[in-house]
Amino acid sequence: MEQLDYHRILNNVADKAITKRAKAKIMASRPLTNKKRIEHLLEEVREAVQILKISSSVPIHSLDEMSGYLEQINKGLFLRPDQLTIVLSFLDHCRKLKRFMQDKEFTAPLITTYAWSINDLGELEQ
């Protein structure tokens, strides 16, 4: 891995990550050897590039704070109003992402499948 300068590449990619969780996941990654998995991930990247060519404004919300809020709820603790506002914003972005992906099924079938797997929680928002 030294010959590949792998750690320098990881650091460069991690510098582009927005959240601490994403940075940690990038830094913990190791080269893949399973050809099918590599091809699948490359197809996801190809689809993502096609989506960005169609529209550079993809409604994606950070999951960083959500993990902490879920832990808090699972402990039986209440969320403060400002935290609830962030959760509502996240749910709104989930709905917008599903709507955004409606006409991308032909261009990005894998990513569209992921978007459609997001549960509709409109009732919770109310």
pLDDT at 45: 95
Report the residue count for the chain.
126
Cα Dmax for the chain: 55
Q: What is the pLDDT of residues 28-55, one digit of tens each?
A: 999 999 999 999 999 999 999 999 999 8
In terms of Cβ atoms closer than 10 Å to its own Cβ (0-12, 13-18, 19+), residue 13 is middle
- pLDDT score for 62: 75
DSSP letter, residue 107? T
Chain CA centroid to CA 65, Å: 13
Q: Tell me the mean pLDDT in the region 97-107.
A: 91
